[in-house]
Structure 1
Amino acid sequence: MSATVSFTAPTSYGPQEVTVSYARVGRGEPLLLLHGIGHHRQAWDPVIDILATERDVIAVDLPGFGASPALPDGVPHDLPTTTAVLGAFSAALGLDRPHAAGNSLGGLLALELGRQDLVRSVTALSPAGFWTQAERRYAFGVLKGMRGTARRLPLPLVERLSRTAAGRTALTSTIYARPGRRSPQAVVAETLALARGTAFAETLRAGREVLFTDDVSRIPVTVAWGSQDRLLIPRQGLRAKRVLPRARLIRLPGCGHVPMNDDPALVARVLLDGSRAQEASASRTTLRAVAL
């Protein structure tokens, strides 16, 4: 069910009053889901029902995206601050070191939560932070272009385009390998989320110097990359493996940058396996994915 919670986050800029919107469903061990920049928690909708059969699933709108307001004036939307907010969010909900899974920016945040030992496992889908500077500039340029287009398109045109597979492809093929599978309503909603995300520009600026360079060795870590990711190209997964040598590295065949829509069953299996004990995950043979 959709809800909001307000709490105080102990950031490096002093205690901050923050409000976060989230949806919670299912039962089992808690699993925190974190979306990418310019998206919203509904990015996880294709896999929520599967995950909820085994997990207490908490899908979050990051500050300044979706239904969550931006952080207070003067507080940056950078990696340390947002990580502190997510840690305080978990505490406010009484979550004792939840599992964490994230896509893109959300994957980077999940890994940072793991580095700080605030979660019990991490599954990162095409996480940010393993790029070269040229790859980062390319990705940021694409994201800025997508944002500009979303802000310029009149809503009636977005609604009309979303009714056809060709229109959904025009709107979302940068992030989905199979955009025709996304529902018209979802495409309209995420186009609006991209256009209206109040923290988009500041979050992008804060990411200019971000590189994830520390190993996360105390908890199980899975890194998964779509074979058709056009935003953060798959070879970044190999760099992630060098930084995180104990991590399980998974290839998601036929999936784009936001793979939950492209192959929900496969992604749900990766998330569930990633949030089990690492030994159990390694012994499974039913996962339809191969090493990068």
Structure 2
Amino acid sequence: MSATLSFTAPTQHGPQDITVSYARVGAGEPLLLLHGIGHHRQAWDPVLDILATERDVIAVDLPGFGRSTALPHGVPHDLATTNAVLGAFCSALGLDRPHVAGNSLGGLLALELGRHNLVRSVTALSPAGFWSRAERRYAFGVLMGMRRTARSLPLPLVERMSRTAVGRTALTSTIYARPARRSPEAVVAETLALAHAEGFAETLRAGRSVRFTDDVPGIPVTVAWGDRDRLLLPRQGVRAKHAVPRARLVRLRGCGHVPMNDDPALVARVLLDGSRPQEASAASTSFSTVGL
């Protein structure tokens, strides 16, 4: 399941040699999964087996996160470069316009791929880029605080904390509405992923001027938001709907910023529906399409 792929990406900064870590499982139409800043591809593990029953699922560690190396020195971790890398990654794997789903930063990247017509459909879970200036400052402050905490905690302490529901809540309640459900092993792994993410600072710096204001015409788009998201507040979903007026807007009840662990069945259904023909998708999930 786990593999690495080396390829050349034709970025705005010239051809770049890139190595990306990913996992691939299942059969069907291809579905590319993109995680958020400071996380890794294992964020999708709770929904992977469900998705794999209907899709050829490719979960990627973004450059500078998880087991993927950072971009070469001097190459910014900005939207244009990261999307060029993702496009070249898909070409190297022989993926012809896959469906794409992303969470947080990954949701913003998914929408950018859709805007450039590089994918068949987009499902964005609490995507970045629909914030006000104050909301962005708040989110970035929280993220930097999480990063400082992850880097300061000794590994034995993280391991001890992860063995109790109270400890898992202390470590992950910012991104999960139900942090006690996360396994101890997963909490340790994602704390280490945040602490050691080479691309964190560069990616956060590049995001200071980012706002997503363009439509994504010609392909199905689903925007889903956890109603207990404490990092990117749910009202940002309304702005997403204004920017992409044909998008399906879905409330994920009882879910936080990273909803895959809070309600795997619901999130998997939203992802599968989002990558079906629009008519079938709308009929299947009209119960959860609401204003936020």
| Structure 2 residue aligned with 1:121 | 121
Q: Residue 149 of structure 2 corresponds to which residue in structure 1?
A: 149
- Asked if structure 1 preserves the Cα contact closer than 8 Å seen for 2:249 and 2:289, the reply is no
Q: Secondary structure at the match of 2:156?
A: helix
AA of the residue aligned to 2:86? L
Deviations 1:201-230 (A, max 9, x none): 000000000000110011000000000000
- Residue 209 of structure 1 is matched in structure 2 by 209
Structure 1: 5+ residue runs without aligned partners?
A: none
> 1:30·1:55 contact (CA, 8 Å) conserved in 2?
yes
1:38 counterpart SS class: coil
3-state DSSP of counterpart to 1:195: helix
In structure 2, how many angstroms separate the alpha carbons of the residues matched to 1:38 and 1:10? 25
Kindly state the Cα deviation for residue 200 of structure 1 after the two structures are TM-superposed. 0.2
Please say if residues 66 and 193 of structure 1, whose CA atoms lie closer than 8 Å, have aligned partners that are also in contact: yes
- TM-score normalised to structure 2 length: 0.99
TM-score by length of 1: 0.99
- 2: distance between equivalents of 1:11 and 1:284? 39
Find the aligned partners of 1:16 and 1:258 in 2 and give their Cα distance.
31
Per the TM alignment, residue 284 of structure 1 is displaced from its structure 2 partner at its CA by 1.5
Listed as ranges, the gaps of 5+ residues in structure 2 are none
Which residue does the alignment assign to 2:96?
96
Matched, 1:237 2:244: no
Amino acid at match of 2:169: T
CA distance in 2, matches of 1:115, 1:166: 42
Q: Is the 8 A contact 2:250 2:288 kept in 1?
A: no
1:111 matched to 2:111: yes
Match of 1:169 in 2: 169
Asked if the contact 2:176–2:255 (Cα under 8 Å) also holds between the matched residues in 1, the reply is yes
> How far does residue 290 in structure 1 lie from its aligned partner after superposition?
4.4
Residues 76-87 of structure 1 aligned to structure 2 (within 5 Å)? 76-87=76-87
**What CA distance in whole angstroms lies between the structure 1 residues aligned with 2:99 and 2:21?**
19
C-alpha separation between the residues in 2 aligned to 1:250 and 1:288?
A: 6
Aligned to 1:188: 188
C-alpha change, 1:117 and 1:185, in structure 2 (3 Å) is: same
Percent identity, please.
83
- How many positions carry a matched residue from both structures? 292
**Superposition pairs of residues 17-28 of structure 1, within 5 angstroms:** 17-28=17-28
Alignment RMSD, CA only?
0.9
AA at the equivalent of 2:163: R
SS class of match (1:102): strand
Cα deviation for residue 288 of structure 1 reads: 5.5
The ranges of structure 1 where at least 4 consecutive aligned residues each deviate by more than 3 angstroms after the TM superposition are: 285-291
- The alignment partner of 1:32 has SS state of strand
